[in-house]
Structure 1
Amino acid sequence: MVSRVKRLLIGRPRKSTELDNEKLTKVKALAVLSSDALSSVAYGTEQILIVLVAAGFTAIWYSLPIALAVLGLLAILILSYRQTIFAYPHGGGAYIVAKDNLGVSTGLLAGGSLLVDYILTVAVSASAGTDAITSAFPSLHEHSVAIAVTVIIILTIINLRGVTESASFIAIPVYLFVLSIVVLIVSGLIKFAISGGNASVPEIGTAVSNVSLFLLLKAFSSGCSALTGVEAVSNAIPNFKVPAEKNAAKTLIMMGTILGFMFTGITLLAYWYGITPNVKETVVSQIAESTFGRGVLYYFIQAITAVILFLAANTAYSAFPLLSFMLAKDKYLPHAFMVRGDRLGFSNGIIFLGVASALLVAAFHGETGNLIPLYAVGVFIPFTLSQLGMMIRWKKLKPAGWKAKFAVNTVGMLTTLTITLIFVITKFANVWVAFIFLPIVMLIFFRIHRHYQNTADELRIQLDKDKPCIKGSTIVIPVSAVTRAVLNSISYAKSLTDNVVAVYVGFDEEEIRKMEAKWEEWNPGVRLIVLRSRYRSVMRPLVKFIDTVEWKNAATDHITILIPQFITKHWWQAILHNQTSVFIRTYLMNHKDIVVATVPYHLNK
């Protein structure tokens, strides 16, 4: 049943030799890896205006120079990450760059920040997409959490089906969104040219008495949330078709060009139409209504915007599993993140991301807007560390033309560092948790790494000295009655050794007497030892007996506890039986240095 449902949801298993078929073309990669960055035009301008309107309607003209500064930063980041792609063609982005040039701890800070950011990306994207739906259909607002979690589940299943299949599914809505925003911008420009904009819009340069440098910096940092997701291409280079680094670099340039055009257009239209943020309606919704009215085009733009905001999470679904794989490969995350699933994706990373983000949405009741500053800080810390790492790399290696590359990364590092400090200063109330959470994440990384090191040290053998120790074998079979499961276990034990003993734990004398009589009548050729339990506990007398056997025979014999267990035909039938054998096995495996084995007997009815 479970297997059939799994096959229905994620498809047939794929062979390892089919891995090359999972590589992405530039067209598909742009859709998958740029969905987060491109979707940010739906809220980037809005984040700037939310800050500016605190100083009054007249202050909205400042959105234009702020947007210009954001575009400048976008250009710097695109150039910087293009250099990173060619310097580190195996992917990993900020984590690999920082670890290679700044040390392990700094690399883990970058990697941990990105992992947390990808979880936030999915949560914020799902919530933002839900907001777009509830803007058009306010009656659905009370179901926002259910809508967001449902979308996360769907995205998780799609990505479990494989990279190429999820790319094929996502490409159409992503390109429809780009087309719809381009149509909206062009139509808005034509309308403005014909009829003009809002007459009450303040002119550029209008003096606003209560606008401070602090307010402008806060608005700029808020607008920089539109740059989240830019780093995803450099993280996911292994997902590209050969030549991977060249295709990744071209995809990055295309993403930056499209993002810059859309962000500029939306910001200009918002200014010309005199649009201000509204709790119940997004800025894009207001622009679309002002341009087309509440007709078919308006609802199409709202629908495709909601879809792209949902699909923005797919960037995280592409990058998170790869980054988790690299951290797990370096022994800073569980090895389970290195395992490819049936469809050749890193399925454990995909599932973990889906579960974590769904829990985050539920915990914040779908109101994840306050997480956007934390979400942005989670990106700008790796941005800064990556630029600094590349500066050190150029300074150390000094390849041809390194000074120009060094200059680009220096400007990028100083800019992103400034943005990070602005975020921390202006939005400390929203980002202070990062200063607690990130050290905890790094501590977890180090504890996992220490465990793997300790495990390797204890398991390592000296090939010239450590040889197998040949001993005899003593087998102890716990029994609760004379059954076919016990017969099956005794038959197996006798095939291994003649040194077999059965142990029965009884609670009252009448019960013990009946068991001894039945065992004597059956006479399986194995001695039965009866243990009396005054406190109705099976484990206590059994463990005490095993200790005695272990002490007497440790030098000469391997001690094996052979547990009989019958397996019901249907899974639900197991609930009807006590699970004493499971408890015994679990306890002994965790507390005793002996062999614990189970001999199953399958029921047919």
Structure 2
Amino acid sequence: MVVKRLSALKRFLIGRPLKSNELGEQKLNKTKALAILSSDALSSVAYGPEQILIVLVTLSAAAFWYSIPIAVGVLVLLSALILSYRQIIFAYPHGGGAYVVSKENLGMNYGLVAGGSLLVDYILTVAVSVSAGTDAITSAFPSLHPYTVVIAIVFVLLITTLNLRGVTESASILAYPVYLFVLALFILIGVGIYNILTGHVSPELHTPVGTPVAGISLFLLLKAFASGSSALTGVEAISNAIPNFKDPAPNNASKTLMAMGTLLALLFTGIVFMAYYYGVAPQAKVTVVSQIAEQTFGRNFMYYFIQGTTALILILAANTGYSAFPLLAVNLAKDKFIPRMFTVRGDRLGYSNGIIILGVCSILLILVFKGQTEHLIPLYAVGVFIPFTLSQTGMIFKWVREKPSGWMPKLIINSIGALISLIVTIMFFLTKFAQVWPVLIFLPIIIYIFYRIKKHYLAVGDQLRLTTCEPAMPIEGNVIIVPVAGITHVVENSLNYAKSLNPHQVIAVYVPFERQEENDFEAKWMKWQPDVRLVTLYSPYRSIIQPLLKFVDTVQRKASESNYQVTVVIPQFIPKKGWHNILHNQSGLVIRTKLLYRRKVIVTTVPYHLTK
């Protein structure tokens, strides 16, 4: 009954199973792919400009005009990344992004650094996006601040469930909020620029561009540039998820990438300019976008429309992680660096194991960081720029090595992208070391785990391969041991099964704790099963497991001399209801677990199903 109810709940939440030949119907067109795979990059417009101002405000509000040239630098980096990843899409049409590019052009170790960084980064994508979306909600409704973590976790659970339903279904639902967000921000920027041009915004709110600011330094500007570059997280997602596109997948992915880059450039530029012109300063409990919207429209319908769509896209930006993480995991699993379960498609043809693991890890991060976005963003951004740098560098090596037609412009694009990405990565480590130092710990640990898993799979394959493994020894007969706890239908059922295998080599084993108990049981056994040999193992220390294991080992050693196989048949009754199991001793489970590690012992469980 419990199983049926759980199955019904699963069908309600996830939907009916899909046939394997329906996989083609789960591919994305450009419109849906833009919404799903660009939501992370587009949503970063809501916090990327704010990260620039957070750095500049440490000097003074007069330094805010530097956000304009910094934004230009971010756009240059964006252009280099978009053009570069467009080249990666056509060079590696089967997806994999930075992991595949780095592995094939720089070597396996660099590929694993990129792959490990991206796996963690996609977990951070979900945590950061949901936390930032929750911030947008609490900015509009301050009374919800105490419930930030709970709200974030609920959103992660909802998005995880939605992705388990399948790519196209989640895309159909999530596309609307993304395009509403883009529309809302274009309206905000358009009305803001109109107000500026018509003189409705005082020019005294901001410091003119070029105003000298005491204490400004190149180091501070590079720090602000690195912080603003967090708006570029998610740019690589499309190159990782090419297999999700309808054919011709590379062409559709390329067009989607260019559309994303254009939208991101326009929105980022508009928000930076408006924040500068309005003289908006970052606040702890009110986002920059919220302040701009309030100054432009006041607290009316448009303000709440902008905050609502901003919150939605920030939360739904997590979907980029759900789209890219499982596909990257598939590539790593095919190379035997992570468990093979990540290559298995679920009922709805998505890689459900990757989706579930991503959701669980994201919730843990939200709990650890208490949903505070500003503590997650630096770690998140540096996790992106390491793969950025490696993928760009990998493409440089590819062009130099292969020298295809028209390779020089491609080399220049990748070289610019690699150089700027490297500078941003170094700046993150120099300026935010206190927040990004965990990268230096978890990356080596992850790579070590990758190699340990690979070593295990290679060892298993070597031992299972018929050409290399030891030849199987011939089996002349079978000695069957049946641990018994009493004279019951469960034991009778198991003895009947054992007799059907070999009626002359069945040994029943009973472990008494008292001598009188031993004598009484032997007497009862002789009347009940006189044709089955009974061995009693008196245990003065009340241990069932150790005497039984010792006896099995002794029988196994003697049996192996005659090429006999030892089989332990474990009686087990199955309660009618699953929760009844906690009311009974689980000694059979413990015995089975211990015996499974005996190399030359076969373990069989004979279930006896109860009806009441």
**Cα gap change, 1:275 to 1:572, in 2 (>3 Å):** same
Match in the other structure for 1:564: 571
2:120 corresponds to 1:116: yes
* Counterpart Cα distance in 2 of 1:322 and 1:127: 24
Aligned match of 1:268: 273
The answer to whether the 8 A contact 2:512-2:536 is kept is yes
Which SS does the other structure have where 2:198 is aligned? helix
Shift of 1:530: 1.0
Instruction: Return the offset for 1:195.
Output: 2.4
Displacement after TM superposition at 1:367 (Å): 1.4
Aligned-partner Cα distance in 2 for 1:9–1:393:
45
What CA deviation, in whole Å up to 9, does each residue of 1:483-524 have, x standing for no partner? 111111111111111211111111112322332222222126
**Secondary structure at 1:533 match in 2:** coil
Q: Secondary structure at the match of 2:482?
A: strand
From 8, 11, 18, give the equivalent of 2:12. 8
Q: Does 1:219 align with 2:224?
A: yes
Provide the secondary structure at the position in 2 that maps to 1:195.
coil
CA contact 2:369–2:376 (8 Å) conserved in 1: no
Question: Once the 2 structures are TM-superposed, how far is the Cα of residue 465 of structure 1 from its aligned partner?
Answer: 8.4
Helix, strand or coil at the partner of 1:55: coil
**Is 2:369–2:375's contact at 8 Å kept on the other side of the alignment?**
no
1:54 match: secondary structure:
coil
In 1, are the aligned partners of 2:462 and 2:469 still within 8 Å (CA)?
no
* TM-score relative to the length of structure 2: 0.97
1:582 alignment counterpart: 589
Q: Tell me if the contact between 1:361 and 1:368 (Cα under 8 Å) persists in the aligned partners.
A: no
Per-residue CA deviation, residues 1-42 of structure 1 (Å, 9 max, x unaligned), is 221111111111111111111111111111110010000010
**1:357 match: secondary structure:** helix
1:75 pairs with one of 53, 61, 79: 79
Partner of 2:381: 376
Contact 2:70 2:225 in 1 (8 A): yes
Q: Distance in 2 between matches of 1:465 and 1:191?
A: 82
> 2:568 touches 2:604 (CA, 8 Å); kept in 1?
yes
Equivalent of 1:288 in 293, 302, 316 = 293
Alignment counterpart, residue 596 of structure 1, candidates 589, 600, 603 = 603
Residue 532 of structure 1 aligns to a residue whose secondary structure is: coil
Per-residue CA deviation, residues 67-108 of structure 1 (Å, 9 max, x unaligned), is: 111011101100000000000000000000000010000000
Residue in structure 2 matched with residue 255 of structure 1 by the alignment: 260
* 2:106 matches 1:102: yes
Q: CA deviation at 1:228?
A: 0.2
Matched residues in 1 for 2:171 and 2:239: separation? 17
| 2:481 is equivalent to residue 476 of structure 1 | yes
Matching residue within 521, 529, 533 for 2:535: 529
The residue identity in structure 2 corresponding to 1:236 is A
Distance 1:540 1:402 in 2: 70
Q: Which residue of 2 aligns with 1:391?
A: 396
Q: Which residue of 2 aligns with 1:347?
A: 352
Amino acid at match of 1:574: N
Aligned to 2:546: 540
In 2, Cα distance between the equivalents of 1:355 and 1:241? 30
| Fraction of identical pairs, as percent | 60
Describe the shift of the 1:486–1:203 C-alpha distance in structure 2 as closer, same or farther (beyond 3 A): same
The 5 A counterparts of 1:138-177 are 138-177=142-181
2:52–2:225: 8 Å Cα contact kept in structure 1?
yes
- 1:553 aligned partner: 559
Provide the secondary structure at the position in 1 that maps to 2:550.
Answer: helix
* Cα distance in 2, alignment partners of residues 533 and 154 from structure 1: 54
Displacement, 1:391?
Answer: 0.9
Tell me how far apart the structure 1 counterparts of residues 479 and 370 of structure 2 sit (CA, whole Å). 58
Tell me the alpha carbon deviations over residues 330-372 of structure 1, each in whole angstroms, 9 at most, x when there is no partner: 0100111111111111111111111111011101111131221
Letter in 1 for 2:32: K
Corresponding letter in the other structure for 1:442: I
TM-align CA RMSD: 1.3
What CA distance in whole angstroms lies between the structure 2 residues aligned with 1:585 and 1:541?
A: 14
Contact 2:205/2:278 (CA < 8 Å) preserved in 1? Answer: no
Paired amino acid for 1:535 = Y
Matched to 1:5, the amino acid is: L
Q: SS where residue 188 of structure 1 aligns?
A: helix
Matched, 1:48 2:52: yes
Whole-Å Cα distance in 2 between the matches of residues 122 and 259 of structure 1? Answer: 19
C-alpha distance in 2 between matches for 1:465 and 1:432: 48
Partner of 1:322: 327
Which shows bigger deviation, 512-521 or 278-287?
Answer: 512-521
Q: CA deviation at 1:534?
A: 0.6
Cα pair 2:98 2:115 within 8 Å, conserved = yes
2:515 is aligned with 1:509: yes
Aligned length in residues? 605
Give yes or no for contact 1:337–1:348 (8 Å, CA) kept in 2. yes
User: Quick one: which of 416, 425, 428 aligns to 1:420?
Assistant: 425
- With 398-407 and 276-285 compared, the bigger mean Cα shift is at 398-407
Opposite residue 210 of structure 2, the aligned amino acid is G
What displacement does 1:302 show?
0.7
- Matched with 1:359 is 364
Amino acid at match of 1:197: V
* Distance of aligned partners of 1:467 and 1:559 in 2 relative to their CA distance in 1, 3 Å threshold: closer
- TM-score for the superposition, normalised by structure 1: 0.98
2:343 to 338, 342, 348: 338
Distance 2:197 2:130 in 1: 36
- Choose 517-526 or 593-602, whichever is displaced more: 517-526
Could you tell me how far apart the structure 1 residues matched to 2:568 and 2:205 are?
Answer: 85
Bigger CA drift: 516-525 or 273-282? 516-525
